[in-house]
Every structure is written in structure tokens, then in C-alpha cells.
């Protein structure tokens, strides 16, 4: 499976428009492909632009932290990916615990995770 997440320049998970990179993690090989985040730094519509870029990579799952998504980016992705909700911030910790996190993947999120 391929798992996407948005990461800042300190390799910490970040909300869609605040991370400069999108990581696509292969859960089997732990190989990481890094892509430029097209929504990075945009003050208007950045989360939706970032999500469109993420969805173009065809991930199976997307890692979500509080305030990662907005209603628009959530509705764009709903039904296309499963969500892994975590409080872990360093991407290294996420990768280390990827199997355990995958087991907690859900198809829908609580509104508190994508409200503005």
C-alpha cells in the first residue's frame, strides 16, 4: 500500500498548505518518494490544491493530524483514500510505526478533524 503525508522542512507532519513536501511511503519496502507540494504557501485554496496533487499520486491512505484538512479537501478525498489519524509528528516515528497506524485506518473522519 502507498501512504501519503504532508511534511515540512523539519520532517514533521504538517497541514496540507504548510508542508513543502508530499511523501509517498511504500509500506512494504519503507521506500519514500518525495514530491513538491503544489499547495505549499498558498493563502487561498492551498489545501485543495495540495489534496489534488496528493490524489494524483494515487495513494491508498493519507495520514491526518488535527487541522490537516478543511471541508473542501476532505470532500475531495473522501471515498478515494482511507485516513490514518495520528498525533505523532516526526515522519520518522510514523514510518517506524506504519503497520500499527495502518490497522487504525478509517474511511470517514470526525468533523473536528476537518473543520475550519
The answer to whether 82 touches 106, Cβ cutoff 8 Å, is yes
The pLDDT value given to residue 46: 92
Helical ranges in the chain per DSSP H = 46-55, 71-77, 91-96, 98-102
Q: What is the pLDDT along the chain (116 residues), one digit of tens a residue?
A: 999 999 999 999 999 999 999 999 998 888 999 999 999 988 889 999 999 999 999 999 999 988 889 999 999 999 999 999 998 889 999 988 889 999 999 999 999 889 87
On the 0-12 / 13-18 / 19+ scale of CB atoms within 10 A, 60 is: middle
Give Cα 57 to chain centroid, integer Å. 12
| Phi (first) and psi of residue 78, to 5 degrees | -60, 130
pTM tops 0.75, yes or no: yes
- Closest of 103, 84, 111, 114 to residue 5, by C-alpha: 84
The pLDDT value given to residue 29: 86
**C-alpha cell read off for 16:** 496540507
Q: Are strands 21-26 and 61-64 parallel, antiparallel or unpaired?
A: unpaired
Amino acid at each position: 500500500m502507498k501512504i501519503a503525508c504532508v511534511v515540512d522542512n523539519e520532517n514533521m507532519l504538517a497541514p496540507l498548505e504548510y508542508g513543502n513536501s508530499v511523501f509517498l511511503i511504500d509500506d512494504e519496502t519503507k521506500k519514500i518518494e518525495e514530491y513538491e507540494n503544489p499547495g505549499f504557501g498558498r493563502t487561498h485554496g492551498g489545501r485543495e490544491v495540495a489534496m489534488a496533487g496528493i490524489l494524483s499520486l494515487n495513494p491508498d491512505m493519507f495520514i491526518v493530524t488535527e487541522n490537516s484538512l478543511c471541508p473542501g479537501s476532505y470532500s475531495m478525498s473522501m471515498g478515494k483514500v482511507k485516513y490514518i489519524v495520528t498525533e505523532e509528528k516526526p515522519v520518522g516515528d510514523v514510518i517506524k510505526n506504519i503497520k500499527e497506524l495502518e490497522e487504525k485506518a478509517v474511511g470517514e473522519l470526525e468533523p473536528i478533524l476537518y473543520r475550519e
